[in-house]
């Protein structure tokens, strides 16, 4: 037996064991060393580099100690950091924090975390506002379902502690990973901000979600509070490390949209709209005088989940699809062999199928399954998933505009947030009906992961917490579940 430290946790393992048996991460090729996706950072007594690793890993990766876990064995004491695809993750886009006076809530190092329903993302900063490292991974709570409703049902079924433990373990691992990537001691991290929708923050803190499961859907705890790392069982931090949870607006309009709004110029006379496309699609509209917000259950289709060959935006994912002389052309992240398709690729693929008359306006797919790029195919049930998601988002936008008495053409800015948004083709998104065609394309701004950017602002300037509280307090919630116009537009927008 020998000693291995995995993401900061020490364990005893037999000599000769493969790292993949320790890490238990993704192995799309079944652990045969063909896909190159089971990357970890490993240091210490390990087997020699294989020829496959030398071929599939870049020189930079080799210098940083990246190994393929299914091809590497333990020969003695070593340390492993599970990278979890962080290097090629699309959610890492748009990291800039502009117009921010640095006055951090920490004294050495701080971490901003976004708990998305489908995706977790985090960044490590120093006191000067420099981002030192970043990472992202699948939210492990997807084991209990892909949307907030299924997570609520699991919690009510007695799984609250399991859901909390899963997310806390993931955050602990991300802390250790970020520290190793930045070559610092994790115990020097003395500040953290964790954002997310209301359900995600409730599950993190083991708060009851019973009141979120039935009408009138009221949140009994809307956060805007500071806890300690020990409160949240974040054992890779010192126990008294402060962790700030930003305020939520309502049961289904969470701290994530509040953080989004911290990054945009609110409270000017110009009308603007912000749409955060995620599993729980949230949107906000400022009409020049008042702030209106709403939430709609879009589902995880645009995050690559629930689609037959859907995947996150990592190496091997088709992220762009074009049509050339009737032929489908696909771009694959990292120029790897195609394994699946991520959110931006899904939008492009549907738009191209419509253009090629493979798909009609009702959503009927003439050839089921339809090959986008061998071996990646799109199926009829995938089209239905996209229809449900895009209809929910578009109907929400139209309803919010109507409620606030604002026409799309007077919007000075139409901002799109969400992990994959920077890779999304706006014309194709409009073509499939994700956005109303009345939205002025020249006024569209892409924010990337706005929730994580906003969390970073709160981390790097403690005074922004007052602005977050003001946004949460002044926002007016438009309930879509009981809105007749939303129901009507939702049905109509199912068509392409």
Share of the chain above pLDDT 90, in %: 66
Minimum mean pLDDT range among 39-53, 232-246, 466-480: 39-53
pTM of the model: 0.79
Q: How far is CA 195 from CA 97, 152, 247, 402, 435, in A?
A: 16, 18, 9, 29, 26
CB-based contact 10:3 (threshold 8 Å): yes
Distance, CA of 208 to CA of 317 (rounded, Å): 37
Distance, CA of 69 to CA of 6 (rounded, Å): 12
Distance, CA of 416 to CA of 272 (rounded, Å): 11
Q: Is the pLDDT at 344 greater than 80, yes or no?
A: yes
Confidence band of 30 (pLDDT split at 50, 70, 90): low
User: For 9-24, what is each residue's pLDDT tens digit?
Assistant: 788 999 999 998 888 6
Q: How far is CA 16 from CA 89, 183, 351, in A?
A: 31, 27, 49
User: For 46-94, what is each residue's pLDDT tens digit?
Assistant: 999 998 888 888 776 787 788 999 999 999 999 887 654 433 344 444 4
Mean pLDDT, the chain, rounded, equals 89
Distance, CA of 447 to CA of 466 (rounded, Å): 22
3-state DSSP assignment of residue 376: strand
Q: What is the pLDDT of residue 90?
A: 44
Share of the chain above pLDDT 70, in %: 94
**What residues are paired with 134 via a beta bridge?**
123
In the chain, the N- to C-terminal Cα span, in Å, equals 60
Domains and CATH numbers, the chain: 2-83 (3.10.20.30), 90-258 (3.30.420.480)
Q: What is the DSSP string of 76-117?
A: EEEEEEE-TTGGG-GGG------S---B-S-SSEEEEEEE-S
Q: What is the pLDDT of residue 27?
A: 55
User: For 130-177, what is each residue's pLDDT tens digit?
Assistant: 999 999 988 999 889 888 888 999 999 999 999 999 999 999 999 999
User: For 425-470, what is each residue's pLDDT tens digit?
Assistant: 999 999 999 999 899 888 898 888 999 999 999 999 999 999 999 9
Distance, CA of 149 to CA of 472 (rounded, Å): 23
Q: What is the pLDDT of residue 57?
A: 82
Q: What is the pLDDT of residue 85?
A: 40
Q: Which whole number is the average pLDDT over 369-374?
A: 94
Q: Is the dihedral of CA 206, 208, 214, 219 positive or negative?
A: negative
Q: Is the pLDDT at 280 greater than 70, yes or no?
A: yes
């Amino acid at each position: 037996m020998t000693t291995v430290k995995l993401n900061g946790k020490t364990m005893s393992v037999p000599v000769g064991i493969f790292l993949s048996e320790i890490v238990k991460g993704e192995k799309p090729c079944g652990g045969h060393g063909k896909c190159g996706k089971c990357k970890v950072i490993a240091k210490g007594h390990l087997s020699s580099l294989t020829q496959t690793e030398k071929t599939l890993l870049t020189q930079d990766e080799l210098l940083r100690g990246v190994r393929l876990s299914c091809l590497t064995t333990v020969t003695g004491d070593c340390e492993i950091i599970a990278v979890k695809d962080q290097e090629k993750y699309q959610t890492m886009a748009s990291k800039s924090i502009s117009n921010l006076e640095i006055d951090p809530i920490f004294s050495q190092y701080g971490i901003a975390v976004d708990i998305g329903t489908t995706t977790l993302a985090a960044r490590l900063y120093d006191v000067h506002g420099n981002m030192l490292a970043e990472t992202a991974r699948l939210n492990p709570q997807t084991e209990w379902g892909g949307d907030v409703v299924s997570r609520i049902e699991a919690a009510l079924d007695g799984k609250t502690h399991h859901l909390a433990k899963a997310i806390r373990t993931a955050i602990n691992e991300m802390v250790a990973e970020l520290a190793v990537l930045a070559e610092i001691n994790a115990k020097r991290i003395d500040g953290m901000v964790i954002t997310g929708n209301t359900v995600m923050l409730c599950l993190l803190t083991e708060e009851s979600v019973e009141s979120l499961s039935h009408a009138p859907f009221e949140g009994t705890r809307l956060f805007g509070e500071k806890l300690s790392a020990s409160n949240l069982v974040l054992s890779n931090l010192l126990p008294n490390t402060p962790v700030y949870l930003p305020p939520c607006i309502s049961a289904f309009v969470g701290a994530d949209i509040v953080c989004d709004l911290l990054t945009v110029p609110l409270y000017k006379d110009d009308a603007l709209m912000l749409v955060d496309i995620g599993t729980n699609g949230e949107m906000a509209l400022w009409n020049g005088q008042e702030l209106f917000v709403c939430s709609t259950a879009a589902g995880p289709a645009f995050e690559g989940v629930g689609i037959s060959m859907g995947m996150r935006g990592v190496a091997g994912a088709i992220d762009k699809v074009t049509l050339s002389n009737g032929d489908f052309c696909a771009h694959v992240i990292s120029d790897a062999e195609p394994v699946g398709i991520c959110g931006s690729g899904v939008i492009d693929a549907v738009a191209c199928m419509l253009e090629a008359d493979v798909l009609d306006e009702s959503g009927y797919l003439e050839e089921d399954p339809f090959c986008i790029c061998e071996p990646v195919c799109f199926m009829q049930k995938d089209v239905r998933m996209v229809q449900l998601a895009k209809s929910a988002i578009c109907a929400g936008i139209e309803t919010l505009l109507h409620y606030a008495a604002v026409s799309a053409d007077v919007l000075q800015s139409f901002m799109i947030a969400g992990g994959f948004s920077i890779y999304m083709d706006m014309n194709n998104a409009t073509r499939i009906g994700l956005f109303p065609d009345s939205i002025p394309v020249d006024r569209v701004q892409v924010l990337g992961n706005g929730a994580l950017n906003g969390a970073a602002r709160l981390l790097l300037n403690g005074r922004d917490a007052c602005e977050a509280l003001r946004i949460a307090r002044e926002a007016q919630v438009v309930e879509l579940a009981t809105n007749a116009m939303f129901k009507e537009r939702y049905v109509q927008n199912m068509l392409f």
